Structure 1
Amino acid sequence: MRLKNTFLILLKLAVIVGLIVYLPSKVSTSSNAQIINAINPNPDDSTPVATNPQNTSFPITKDKKIHIYNTHQGEEYDGYNVVLGANYLKDCLNSQGYQCDVEGNDFEGYKAVHNIAYKNSYSVSKMYLEQSLQNNGGYDLIIDFHRDSISKELSTINHNGKSYAKIMFVVGKSSGKFDAVNQLSQKLSDIANRTVPKISRGVYVKNSHYNQGISDNMVLIEVGAQSNTKEEIQATVEIIAKAIGDYLGG
């Protein structure tokens, strides 16, 4: 009996050891690329970049490249969030034939691992933006997709029986490229308002930089606010995509 019990114990130990050895080999390195990037303090050319790429169901028919990211990835709507909004904008632009990708690295995870304060979020998004520019050869338009924190009454507009989230462009006066970014933001704001009057609250200039010194072709868009719904955000994103198409194709 004692010999039998010893044998059973040894058999169980062998099974446990086998599982420990086997299971790690089943973990996909590609599925963890986003986590690897989020905790890598010094990304370089050899580091895989986690992006949500071109929707291959849409052919590329335009020669313009667009990059979208969310400096504040944790911003949420009513049952929706800015990351999903950015990806919906990508799909809308892909459907127009533009090559467009969305930053997929986990900024919030990176900040948590490295104890980076919320107020320093732009240092994290800048690091990954510069990496994307280096790896992808530049973009014709770069969009930092945010949401505002205002009341539903101020963040929403009704046009022809349809509810839209209002947008606002934010420009950093101290970026070093203020004139170019301000002009681009004003153009996109005006184009959007031609489609849905007053959907854009205009251009708000602040004494900051928002990483806009990196490129003349950058905009920061506040899309709706915390109380806007998925349907309102997506309706507005379609207007933004149309405005971008009119601008880049014009």
Structure 2
Amino acid sequence: MLMNKLRGFVLTILFFFSLPIVIGFMPFPNNEKYVPATPEEKILYASNDLVVSDVAPPKEPFKVLLLFTHSHETYKPFLQNEKGMVAVYDDQSNLYSMHQLMEDYFRLNGMEAKTLDVDVMTVLKENGKTIVDAYKTVRPYVAEELKTNQYDLILDIHRDSASYKKTTIVHKDVSYAKAAFVIGAENPNYKLNKSIAQTISDSMNAIIPDISRGIIEKKGSGVDGVYNQDLAKEFILIEIGGIDNTEDEVYRTAAVLAQAVANSLAKK
């Protein structure tokens, strides 16, 4: 009798000792093993009235090369603000010195931008040459750059010598420097150059009506007729404003240019 009681007591102790362990293996909800859910594939939707800010940039972004063949071209108001003098050429305050902000406008529109690292008109002076030799002087620099890097668009940026009235547009009480595209009609890439220039011109006008004066074709005696545009089918010469345009007007148009390129070429 005593042994039976002792055996029952031991079994009772073992039962209560093992109970937590047994419960731990039972399929109660609060004991289920936590397994992180596999994240669902993210789906992005875009529409005209929805901006998706976290879309990953393309693996191969649109690349733009900027160059300034007439690097010392400047604007009277710009130079007057900088140096208190009036001139249309300067070796410091000029188009070439504005390249960083112009690059930034393209970057803000999701593109890569680089400026050809040569102050062409300084090189001309160092070699005793004049502005007439500018295109021949810059050509080997461009050719060398294109050997090692590929670009979707090459922009040779200039300013016109026309009057303020011809080179300025006011839209919604804001003034912009007008743009014009110059295409050398005596090079093998003429039709391709012109087509790309027309596309950008149309896109700029869609943003600011009449900001682009369109395409100016050059050929015949007394003009270059090529402007190094034979080096690439994406090679475009653009004139932004004229000698009387302000720095702000020029930068506004540079911003429109970058947006137009993004809208018409980079998103294709």
TM-score over 0.5 (shorter chain): yes
* Structure-2-length-normalised TM-score: 0.68
Structure 1 residue 96 and structure 2 residue 94: aligned? no
SS at 2:71 equivalent:
coil
Structure 1 residue 187 and structure 2 residue 205: aligned? no
TM-superposed deviation, 1:112: 1.3
Identity of aligned residues (%): 29
Structure with more helix by fraction: 1
Instruction: Report matched runs for 1:7-46 at 5 Å.
Output: none
Alignment match, 1:229 = 246
1:129-164 CA distance string (max 9 Å, x none)? 1111123x2111000000000111111010011000
Given that 1:86 and 1:145 are in contact with CA atoms closer than 8 Å, whether structure 2 keeps it comes out as: no
Amino acid at match of 1:233: V
SS at 1:148 equivalent:
coil
* Structure-1-length-normalised TM-score: 0.73
Question: After alignment, is 237-246 or 98-107 more displaced?
Answer: 98-107
1:156-206 CA distance string (max 9 Å, x none)? 010011000000000000121100000111111011001111000000000
Counterpart Cα distance in 1 of 2:110 and 2:97: 20
Given that 1:76 and 1:82 are in contact with CA atoms closer than 8 Å, whether structure 2 keeps it comes out as: yes
Amino acid at match of 2:96: V
TM-superposed deviation, 1:100: 1.0
Alignment match, 1:69 = 67
Given that 2:96 and 2:119 are in contact with CA atoms closer than 8 Å, whether structure 1 keeps it comes out as: no
Counterpart Cα distance in 2 of 1:243 and 1:175: 25
Where do 5+ consecutive residues of structure 2 fail to align?
1-55, 80-93, 220-224
Counterpart Cα distance in 1 of 2:97 and 2:256: 16
Given that 2:69 and 2:121 are in contact with CA atoms closer than 8 Å, whether structure 1 keeps it comes out as: no
TM-superposed deviation, 1:86: 3.3
TM-superposed deviation, 1:87: 2.7
Instruction: Report matched runs for 1:124-139 at 5 Å.
Output: 124-135=137-148, 137-139=149-151
Instruction: Report matched runs for 1:77-96 at 5 Å.
Output: 77=75, 78-79=77-78, 81-96=94-109
- How many correspondences in the alignment? 190
Counterpart Cα distance in 2 of 1:87 and 1:67: 12
SS at 1:225 equivalent:
coil
Query: Which one has the largest radius of gyration?
Result: 2
SS at 1:174 equivalent:
coil
Given that 1:156 and 1:164 are in contact with CA atoms closer than 8 Å, whether structure 2 keeps it comes out as: yes
TM-superposed deviation, 1:88: 2.1
Question: After alignment, is 160-169 or 75-84 more displaced?
Answer: 75-84
